[in-house]
């Protein structure tokens, strides 16, 4: 369980540094316009998102003495780390050169992240056949992810400032190197200390069969759409934290406090095993999305009160802790549904689309939307912002993510009827396996 948790710790340490700070880094450190930075986030994420099914196909065709998903923790550790460093290498180039450097390194890093993160989800159905145990393991994994998030979200700004002194580019580059080394080591630990079962059910699948596994798999389709809306909300809320703290509050370092308070997600994650005993999993996910939406809306009423802002941000984080954890665990159930419905167990393909694709599309659009709103409102890096720009930043951190969360919660209602069939499906698969 500790090794499995280290996968998400490594992933979040690096990936969250990107999703939380890259828009700010591109505009206020690297020197790109907010429109150019937003274009990079959108274009690269959309292109990158479609590598998720490719990685899924690759995993479904992988058969080694180490298992099907586990080898990728070893194989992708170095590319993931080195491309992360290159993103913050920031060579002295022309404006056009900077744009393409950012675009290419951002895209390649995203592809490497998919190759590293897809196995994290696809391995879960093959670590245990017990649904409750899967939920516990997934919750442990998400706690590991939160630790990775906490480190980068809380300390990145301070570490970069300390290492760079008067040279911001140098500070960010050296910070990236340190995080990359830690992430690399964590992925090696994950490789050496995890073990897959269900190897007798891991068969090489033709591409058409992997796609067929999604046919009529309605719980899977619903979960994917809901997860996209979660990441839309999460990315839109986190990508403007530094802007809101610096320009609306006038206290840039408070961004680190807010990012640290995201650790309240762990409260939501720890509540999940208790909640799923009393409520349907779909209802627990709806609760999480709704609570996150309420917390985000209340930010609009915080004004200059840092205490009130911290409280409502923490409330929203409890909600996002539930909302981000549940789909990962529930994807394993949709893999079972696909096997029962179509006779095909495509763990790699279904979980790749359900996790990596949803994350890439959601976070890409979620990071792009605020950048376009800020650009339209006349945001300029490093200067006193107009009232219109300040209102745009406030809207992007409050009402925009709340809207995405509420839409996701509403869609999740349609999942309930499929959850009622789970015990029957698992029994049928067990009987078939015998």
Q: Identify the residue with better confidence: 63 or 111.
A: 111
Residue 386: strand, helix, or coil: coil
Distant-in-sequence contacts of 251-254, Cβ < 8 A, 24+ apart: 251/306, 252/157, 253/157, 253/158, 254/306
Position 204 scores a pLDDT of 57
Most trustworthy range by pLDDT among 12-21, 124-133, 201-210, 303-312: 303-312
220-253, pLDDT tens digit by residue? 888 889 999 999 999 998 889 999 999 999 998 8
Task: Pick 259 or 341 by higher pLDDT.
Answer: 259
Higher pLDDT, 65 or 156: 156
pLDDT at 332: 73
Mean pLDDT value across residues 21-50: 86
The predicted-structure confidence for 283-319, as pLDDT tens digits, reads as follows 999 999 999 999 999 999 999 999 999 999 999 999 9
Specify the pLDDT at position 404. Answer: 97
Ordered DSSP codes for 139-195? HHHHHHHHHHHHHHHHHHHHHHHHHHTT-HHHHHHHHHHHHHHHHHHHHHHHHHT--
The strand pairing partners of 64, in sequence order, are 67
Structure tokens at 152: 């980068």
Q: Is 181 a residue whose pLDDT tops 70?
A: yes
H or E, element range at 79: helix 77-87
Number of Cβ within a 10 Å radius of residue 206: 12
Q: How far is CA 5 from CA 8, 292, 391, in A?
A: 6, 24, 39
This prediction has a pTM of 0.76
> First-to-last CA distance in the chain?
28
**Model confidence band, residue 45 (pLDDT cutoffs 50, 70, 90):** confident
Q: Do 205 and 52 meet the contact criterion of CB atoms below 8 Å apart?
A: no
Phi, psi of 177 (to 5 degrees): -65, -45
Give the model's pLDDT for residue 250.
92
130: buried, middle or exposed (CB in 10 Å: 19+, 13-18, 0-12)?
Answer: exposed
Picking from 21-35, 148-162, 190-204, 253-267, which range would have the lowest pLDDT averaged per residue? 190-204
CA separation for the pair 146, 5 (Å, rounded): 10
pLDDT, position 389: 94
The pLDDT, as a whole number, for residue 426 is 72
pLDDT at 434: 44
Mean of the pLDDT values across residues 97-121? 91
Residue whose pair of structure tokens reads 């990359």 in the numeric block: 180
Q: Which contiguous run of DSSP H or E holds residue 40? A: helix 34-49
Residue pair 29/170 in contact by the 8 Å Cβ criterion = no
- β-bridge partners, 67: 64
Query: Sorting pLDDT into bands at 50, 70 and 90, what band is 6?
Result: very high
- Nearest CA to 157 out of 28, 247, 40 is that of 28
Say what the alpha-carbon torsion angle 390, 393, 394, 398 is, to the nearest 10 degrees. Answer: 170
275-282: Cβ within 8 A, 24+ apart? 275/322, 276/135, 280/416, 280/419, 281/326, 281/329, 281/330, 281/333, 281/419, 282/412, 282/413, 282/415, 282/416, 282/419
Span of 103-107, 234-238, 240-244, 325-329 with lowest mean pLDDT: 325-329
pLDDT, one tens digit per residue, over 361-409 is: 888 888 889 999 999 999 988 888 999 999 999 999 999 999 999 999 9
């Amino acid at each position: 369980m500790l090794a499995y948790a280290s996968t998400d710790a490594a992933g979040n340490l690096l990936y969250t540094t990107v999703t939380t700070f890259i828009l700010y880094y591109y505009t206020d450190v690297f020197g790109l316009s907010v429109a150019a930075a937003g274009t990079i986030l959108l274009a690269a994420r959309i292109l990158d998102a479609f590598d998720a099914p490719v990685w899924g196909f690759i995993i479904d065709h992988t058969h080694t003495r180490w298992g099907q998903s586990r080898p990728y923790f070893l194989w992708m550790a170095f590319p993931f780390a080195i491309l992360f460093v290159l993103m913050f290498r920031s060579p002295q180039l022309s404006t056009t050169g900077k744009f393409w450097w950012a675009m290419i390194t951002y895209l390649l890093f995203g592809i490497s992240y998919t190759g590293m993160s897809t196995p994290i989800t696809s391995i879960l159905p093959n670590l245990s056949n017990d649904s409750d145990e899967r939920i516990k393991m997934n919750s442990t994994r998400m706690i590991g992810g939160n630790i990775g998030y906490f480190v980068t979200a809380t300390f990145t700004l301070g570490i970069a400032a300390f290492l760079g002194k008067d040279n911001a580019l140098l500070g960010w580059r050296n910070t990236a190197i340190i995080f990359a080394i830690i992430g690399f080591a964590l992925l090696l630990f994950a490789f050496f200390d995890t073990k897959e079962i269900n190897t007798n059910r891991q068969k090489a699948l033709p591409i058409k069969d992997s796609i067929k596994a999604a046919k009529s798999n309605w719980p899977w389709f619903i979960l994917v759409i809901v997860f996209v809306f979660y990441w839309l909300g999460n990315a839109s809320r986190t990508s403007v934290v530094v802007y809101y703290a610096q320009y609306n509050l006038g206290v840039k370092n408070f961004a680190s406090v807010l990012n640290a308070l995201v650790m309240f997600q762990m409260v939501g994650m720890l509540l999940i095993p208790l909640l799923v005993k009393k409520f349907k999993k779909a209802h627990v996910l709806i609760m999480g999305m709704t609570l996150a939406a309420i917390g985000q809306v209340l930010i609009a009423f915080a004004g200059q009160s840092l205490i009130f802002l911290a409280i409502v941000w923490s409330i929203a984080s409890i909600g996002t802790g539930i909302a981000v954890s549940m789909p990962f665990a529930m994807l394993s159930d949709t893999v079972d549904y696909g096997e029962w419905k179509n006779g095909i167990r495509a763990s790699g393909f279904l979980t790749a689309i359900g996790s990596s694709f949803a994350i890439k599309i959601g976070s890409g659009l979620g990071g792009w939307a605020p950048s376009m709103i800020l650009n339209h409102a006349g945001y300029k890096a490093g200067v006193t912002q107009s009232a219109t720009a300040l209102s745009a930043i406030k809207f992007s951190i409050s009402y925009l993510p709340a809207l995405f969360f509420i839409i996701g919660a509403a869609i999740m209602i349609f999942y309930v009827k499929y959850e009622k069939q789970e015990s029957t499906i698992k029994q049928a698969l067990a009987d078939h396996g015998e």
